Structure 1
């Protein structure tokens, strides 16, 4: 049989022919410089050498990965040319101040939300109510500001972020600080030191700081701690002669603290821990929130790394190795006396309290977690002790075992707890309540809902128990402004009430009991001071701004709801007047203490904006 094919051509069976689709070559063939038949989705050469995905064609319906990469390369080359010749090009990227807060997006205020349905008859933590659903109505969200002439707003402009100053960062060395200047700073800082996490024995620290030895001498505190205390004294006093010098002092303090652990100072671990704690409170107070988190994290790492969570443990523990010196393990030395041991105990709990404050104040509820109570970390250190009553508090037989766990399980004995121990317990409950709020969801299954209700009831019982302890230990009407523990006791009272708010706030729309608990707790916070002269109280812990703001927003939320439901019996003008009066009290105290705190000024602005929006 004679073939019709031209002479010299190869005969290919008909079954092996592939229909040819004319088109451009795929990207792979173009790159390899081989002939492509343009077959889609996989061309002949790519079919012969299989790949994970289809061929890419430049004329496809969308940009191919190769084309996208080429565009990216072109854009980066153009940007590189801009940076190399800044005067001859127009910037394609506009820079902004990294620390300025963005203005909130406009959204309808809470007054525009639907009127809540009738509340359910049972408490959300009732044993007979283990299948709680999402409370009717919308959970409270801070309304954004809108232009309004509403009374009591007190706002004269738009929201601004905390004022920040530019910090030059040259290395400042270890210039000697005069004893006269240091003494003046100590006089300003030490009376308020407890509010900024100072756990060391004040008379001993003051004496050693003013010894006539060079800065960094082993008989004095570390250079970093001395510089931090000097910085805080200048910050709290703000003398006209040193205006503008605080930024340089801050730079010097941060630099020297960062290298103190490399020194041979015998107390470098605890001194650096103390410096990091005070720096974290300083940054929180001045509105440097990221820096506050960083120094808090450093303090947590130091405390856990040094094994401060295992002091006087009943369990067999091995000392934490801090490093190797001459190929030998280096561990925290044995305390020289009971005062130094008490400082270590109090130092750990001060770190834990700071961590609780920072986490609740700066993180959304869903992200509130317990790094110091993570799986595998068991805290055995006994509760804080009173440094002025060591013979009574730090007995030789004092031991600790699962301290926090026993407290949360209701198995803790609170016998004559000093203020620092009560503050620690209040901060734990404050953090625990916020954590539970972040864990609640309307999609919880039956067992999950049962576990949540059980945990919430336990925390609620602990809050009430601590409230009763406070009422017996330190009633508000017996406090005096000249008592150094007054500010700490006020903070404890406010934390207990804030914990109740955190625990019940998301249920306030559905459960009358929860709403009443929140309102009562908020009134307690803003009316906390009674007959005390606020001008004489002195500087407060920076977390107080968060507590005052929380209370004020409770009143703003309730005022908004009473205005929505005017036909209800309880929505009379007298109810709104009482709420407005409580709001005024909260605004007054927040305004007073915000005068020298950038963070509190910002929180005051947020409260004012929320009120203007209703």
Structure 2
């Protein structure tokens, strides 16, 4: 049977006129004007696209060609960088003296803009960690469904042995993230079923396992992405159900630390800022040692003194992450700069919250450091502990860097604030010196030693930032800054001679200004033609660069500790990124 209806010819795609194509009308493609345009009185506007129509395959081929050209350009830029680095002698330069670069005023003078290829380690190798004995990421993607561990990871509850192993790894490294709490209380709560009111929220378990995975070496590192997905999923669930918000804050802070370690600075800063805003809504920045006065609609009062101590420690952990994150990224701190707005007391040793001594001490706050009185040193002062020292050093380091930047703007005079900060820093240095004399260093407590060394070197870095303001115009400030840098070098020598396990993640941030001071001194000797003085300072720089390389070996992460800035001096190749 034949159809009486006349079938319209099927046009090749792209042959219709522009009028019909725009109105999605059926076009017969007749020229000079198609039938529909003639019938609608649009014959004068009937035109056709004269450019050849590219097939989908041709478009993909063109895109692939563009990507190949981009890769070739990037590889060419890398080879140029490698050549220039190789040409830089790691030893003393015998060429004509060059003027010393201007002091690096302020820890961060603005966001650090780096080319795309320099975002992580400067290496032509792919940006993943190759673990011996495990398939590469390209191989494992095809085998992921065959891996029984992946199936275990997708369960709501991690296998107890795996969870316990990774949490123990995290607990051994928690001091890197300014994190501490009553561990026996936490471990007991982690054993409880999720239905129990005192159990730990899965988000906190997953966040700890994520960092434990990262510190596990090669055993679990290939599952890091799965742990990251678990953490973000459980955090969303915690916020959605508004359950166990104290655990939620702790978990989100640890996730922010993970992003910082992975050089995802903007993402980390954004997450930590949101976490701190939430913590401030819970009034963690206004904790009163009197437990009966801690009333907040979001967070129930602490059950006992141990939980109060954990909340105080959590706030100062957030404080340290906030201040150090600001120094790393150059972005503003989220917590108030005004000392008076933070009334949470300094943390006592954790045992004070167990035996009740925390209720018997006269608590001190951030604002108490602004007073000019000097107490005689008391070796039993509960606030002379490494957690408090670390918080204080980051407070002054951030303030000194801020003052150094403000001093450059419109000739503003901040002499009074600079003098006051200098006095407070001097008192902190005295406290650290006395504490070390009484309690010692490198006595076998890795966490204690690592945080104490970081607090001492951070205080030195704060002094350097403060002295940077006048070092270019006042000879005494230049000399004093050099003396502080050499005091810090003594700590560097002790640190690299000790157990590498006591090295802290943030040491690269604290050592960078020391390198800058020594590099400026080397440039001065070169200008004067003092070969002997230049060789001595070059030796100090080589020592410090060796310490930075050791940090790189101990922490093979993608951190941004501003070591990249040191390349501008031209005294060392900087093939590391901390």
CA distance in 1, matches of 2:311, 2:261: 25
CA-to-aligned-CA distance 1:396-417 (integer Å, 9 cap, x gap): 57566xx333323446968612
Cα deviation for residue 607 of structure 1 reads 3.1
Cα deviation for residue 587 of structure 1 reads 1.2
Query: Residues 357 and 509 of structure 1: is their aligned pair in 2 closer, same or farther, counting only changes over 3 Å?
Result: same
Give yes or no for the alignment of 1:349 onto 2:316: yes
1:553 maps to what in 2? Answer: 516
Cα deviation for residue 588 of structure 1 reads 1.7
2:328 maps to what in 1? Answer: 361
2:157 maps to what in 1? Answer: 176
Cα deviation for residue 534 of structure 1 reads 4.8
Cα deviation for residue 180 of structure 1 reads 0.8
Compare CA radii of gyration and give the structure with the larger one: 1
Deviates more, 1:197-206 or 1:345-354: 197-206
2:202 maps to what in 1? Answer: 223
Give yes or no for the alignment of 1:291 onto 2:249: no
Counterparts of residues 567-582 of structure 1 (less than 5 Å) = 572-582=530-540
1:499 maps to what in 2? Answer: 462
2:166 maps to what in 1? Answer: 185
CA distance in 2, matches of 1:496, 1:271: 31
Do 2:97 and 2:527's aligned partners in 1 also have CA atoms closer than 8 Å? no
**Alignment partner for residue 469 of structure 1, among 427, 431, 437?**
431
Do 1:500 and 1:517's aligned partners in 2 also have CA atoms closer than 8 Å? no
Cα deviation for residue 141 of structure 1 reads 7.9
CA distance in 2, matches of 1:580, 1:114: 15
TM-score (norm. length: structure 2): 0.69
Give yes or no for the alignment of 1:598 onto 2:574: no
**Alignment partner for residue 276 of structure 1, among 252, 267, 279?**
252
Cα deviation for residue 456 of structure 1 reads 0.3
Do 1:481 and 1:532's aligned partners in 2 also have CA atoms closer than 8 Å? no
2:14 maps to what in 1? Answer: none
Query: Residues 173 and 90 of structure 1: is their aligned pair in 2 closer, same or farther, counting only changes over 3 Å?
Result: closer
Do 1:113 and 1:138's aligned partners in 2 also have CA atoms closer than 8 Å? no
CA distance in 2, matches of 1:159, 1:89: 23
Cα deviation for residue 115 of structure 1 reads 5.5
Deviates more, 1:472-481 or 1:575-584: 472-481
Query: Residues 493 and 318 of structure 1: is their aligned pair in 2 closer, same or farther, counting only changes over 3 Å?
Result: closer
2:442 maps to what in 1? Answer: 480
1:238 maps to what in 2? Answer: 217
SS at match of 2:180: coil
2:299 maps to what in 1? Answer: 332
Question: Comparing both structures, which one devotes a greater share of its residues to helix?
Answer: 2
CA distance in 1, matches of 2:471, 2:390: 27
2:193 maps to what in 1? Answer: 213
1:250 maps to what in 2? Answer: 228
CA-to-aligned-CA distance 1:512-534 (integer Å, 9 cap, x gap): 22222322222233321555665
Do 1:257 and 1:272's aligned partners in 2 also have CA atoms closer than 8 Å? yes
Do 2:105 and 2:468's aligned partners in 1 also have CA atoms closer than 8 Å? no
Output the aligned Cα RMSD: 4.2
Do 2:509 and 2:561's aligned partners in 1 also have CA atoms closer than 8 Å? no
1:6 maps to what in 2? Answer: none
Query: Residues 93 and 348 of structure 1: is their aligned pair in 2 closer, same or farther, counting only changes over 3 Å?
Result: farther
Give yes or no for the alignment of 1:607 onto 2:566: yes
Give yes or no for the alignment of 1:395 onto 2:376: no
**Alignment partner for residue 585 of structure 1, among 543, 550, 553?**
543
SS at match of 1:528: helix
Counterparts of residues 408-423 of structure 1 (less than 5 Å) = 408-410=370-372, 416=381, 417=383, 418-423=385-390
Do 2:266 and 2:329's aligned partners in 1 also have CA atoms closer than 8 Å? no
Cα deviation for residue 478 of structure 1 reads 2.6
Cα deviation for residue 382 of structure 1 reads 1.1
1:562 maps to what in 2? Answer: 525
CA distance in 2, matches of 1:425, 1:355: 13
Cα deviation for residue 92 of structure 1 reads 12
CA distance in 2, matches of 1:564, 1:476: 44
Deviates more, 1:188-197 or 1:404-413: 404-413
Q: Which segments of 5 or more consecutive residues in structure 2 lack a partner in the other structure?
A: 1-50, 89-94, 107-115, 122-126, 129-136, 142-149, 574-578
SS at match of 1:388: helix
Do 1:430 and 1:499's aligned partners in 2 also have CA atoms closer than 8 Å? yes
CA distance in 1, matches of 2:351, 2:339: 34
Query: Residues 575 and 248 of structure 1: is their aligned pair in 2 closer, same or farther, counting only changes over 3 Å?
Result: same
Deviates more, 1:518-527 or 1:473-482: 473-482
Cα deviation for residue 562 of structure 1 reads 1.8
Cα deviation for residue 231 of structure 1 reads 1.4
Query: Residues 287 and 469 of structure 1: is their aligned pair in 2 closer, same or farther, counting only changes over 3 Å?
Result: same
Query: Residues 205 and 529 of structure 1: is their aligned pair in 2 closer, same or farther, counting only changes over 3 Å?
Result: farther
CA-to-aligned-CA distance 1:234-269 (integer Å, 9 cap, x gap): 2112234x342112222222222233233364xx22
Do 1:356 and 1:428's aligned partners in 2 also have CA atoms closer than 8 Å? yes
CA-to-aligned-CA distance 1:342-382 (integer Å, 9 cap, x gap): 1111211211121111112220xxx6x55322579711111
1:306 maps to what in 2? Answer: 282
SS at match of 1:244: helix
**Alignment partner for residue 522 of structure 1, among 485, 488, 513?**
485
Do 1:430 and 1:502's aligned partners in 2 also have CA atoms closer than 8 Å? yes
Deviates more, 1:517-526 or 1:463-472: 517-526
CA distance in 2, matches of 1:549, 1:589: 11
Do 2:239 and 2:248's aligned partners in 1 also have CA atoms closer than 8 Å? yes
Do 2:192 and 2:199's aligned partners in 1 also have CA atoms closer than 8 Å? no
Counterparts of residues 109-128 of structure 1 (less than 5 Å) = none
CA distance in 2, matches of 1:188, 1:550: 32
Query: Residues 342 and 601 of structure 1: is their aligned pair in 2 closer, same or farther, counting only changes over 3 Å?
Result: closer
